[in-house]
Copies of this chain bind each other. A is one copy, B any other.
Amino acid sequence: MKDGENLEKLLGASREKIDAIDGRIMELLAERASVVAEVAEVKKANNLPVYHPAREEDLITSRRKLAKELNLSPDMAEEIFRTVLRNSRIKQTGTMAGKAVNPSAKILVVGGAGAMGRLLVRWFTQAGYEVRVLEREDWPRAASLCDKIDLAILSVPIQATAQAAQMLSAHLPKDAILADITSVKKEPVRAMLKAHAGPVLGLHPMFGPTTESFDKQIVVVTEGRESEKCEWVVRQLAAWGAVTVKSTPEEHDEMMDVVQALRHFATFCFGRFLCDQKVNLARTLEFSSPIYRLELGMVGRLFAQDPELYADIIFSTPERRELLKGFVKNLSENVKLLDDSDVEGFLKEFRRVSQWFGPFGEQAIRESTYLIEKMVERF
């Protein structure tokens, strides 16, 4: 055993070695970034996609292999290079953002001063499009704003969409695309089809206005009319890195009943109960496994956001409200299990649902285990 001073010296020397190694790693990362920037320029000049899944998987596989040879953890290597790859993808997407798929197109964003509207304006402008904005006070100038436009995007609340489409239609060139970005699609697409005789496109970007990059973000694309004429808009979204999912307005809304409304409603109910029970939040966190913290984080996240947004989603259609009532009713059936301490009944139900989830369970374990590790690593 060494005395304290020597020990400090010894550890200090090791720390200096580690700092030096890390410094060299960082320099190599900077060198790597400059090579990637060259690649991005070549890709841009030749209209090649940013995201090359096969190359990325090859790269990860070879780094894992190398890690084993060097007696390092392959999982660590994978994590590090996934981080590096994502960052280069975002940088490349940034380079690509300057690339317009249909450069001569003129675009009008109705509600372009709202949060999502500003995002659209920024992205289309960066890509070199001529972008105009129509706000509530601009309706008297609607005719000149609509002059020779190729695409009008409605970025207004759900309940204002039909009226905006109607008011715009008088000024819209016949061949212009009329599109919207609300979180329901059946009614808005119907209203746009009624208001405008030309191409109609229903979009639902599955992300909020704080999103910095389109990278791997999902945009649902529902056809309204003359979809071939709308194709360039979809290609533009893909060029920015978004994943576009084609659907019908009907299927979209049905999916969102679950993906958005049910999930948000259940989360709302859970948070409300915690509040009504006056649960000691801070103390539960001290006792929490990463998974509880993760789940409570999802609840806290909802309540830290705009309530109007959630009201919009939850109350948007009668079908949706019926579904949510069905959820409460279904849930009440579990009271009997509790009343009777019916463990057997619970196990039977559990196994039935388990079977229904099928192979998704394995995927869920894999994905959530990874995230829990990330959580432990970071917080």
Give, as a whole number of angstroms, the nearest-CB distance from A50 to chain B: 13
Cα(A276)–Cα(B282), bound, Å:
35
Q: Do B31 and A21 touch across chains, with their CB atoms under 8 A apart? A: yes
Cα(A331)–Cα(B331), bound, Å:
9
Residues of B within 8 A of A167 (CB): none
Q: Do B22 and A38 touch across chains, with their CB atoms under 8 A apart? A: no
Residues of B within 8 A of A292 (CB): 259-260, 263
Quick check: which of A150-158, A192-200, A338-346 contacts chain B, the rest being far away?
Answer: A338-346
In-complex Cβ contact of A368 among B260, B297, B352 (8 A): B297
**Copies of this protein chain in the complex:** 2
What class of interface size applies to chain A in its complex with B?
35 or more
Tell me if A307 is interfacial: C-beta within 8 Å of chain B.
Answer: yes
Tell me if A104 is interfacial: C-beta within 8 Å of chain B.
Answer: no
Tell me if A218 is interfacial: C-beta within 8 Å of chain B.
Answer: yes
Tell me if A81 is interfacial: C-beta within 8 Å of chain B.
Answer: yes
Q: Do A271 and B18 touch across chains, with their CB atoms under 8 A apart? A: no
Q: Do A338 and B357 touch across chains, with their CB atoms under 8 A apart? A: no
Cα(A38)–Cα(B11), bound, Å:
9
* A 290-313 binary contact with B (CB < 8 Å = 1; else 0): 011111111111011101101100
Cα(A251)–Cα(B39), bound, Å:
59
- Using a CB-CB cutoff of 8 Å, which residues 162-215 of chain A contact chain B? 206-207, 215
Quick check: which of A95-103, A136-144, A232-240, A371-379 contacts chain B, the rest being far away?
Answer: A371-379
Residues of B within 8 A of A288 (CB): 206, 218, 259
Give, as a whole number of angstroms, the nearest-CB distance from A375 to chain B: 6
* A 344-365 binary contact with B (CB < 8 Å = 1; else 0): 0011011111101100111111
Residues of B within 8 A of A27 (CB): 70
Q: Do A32 and B21 touch across chains, with their CB atoms under 8 A apart? A: yes
Cα(A272)–Cα(B272), bound, Å:
21
Cα(A291)–Cα(B218), bound, Å:
12
- Using a CB-CB cutoff of 8 Å, which residues 9-30 of chain A contact chain B? 10-11, 14-15, 17-19, 21-30
By beta carbon, the residue of chain B nearest A377 is B86
Tell me if A225 is interfacial: C-beta within 8 Å of chain B.
Answer: no
| Known interface pairs A251-B283, A255-B280, A311-B346; 14 further A-B residue pairs with C-beta atoms within 8 A, sorted by A's residue number | A19-B59, A22-B81, A30-B71, A33-B72, A86-B377, A245-B287, A256-B287, A266-B266, A291-B298, A291-B301, A300-B361, A325-B338, A328-B332, A367-B375
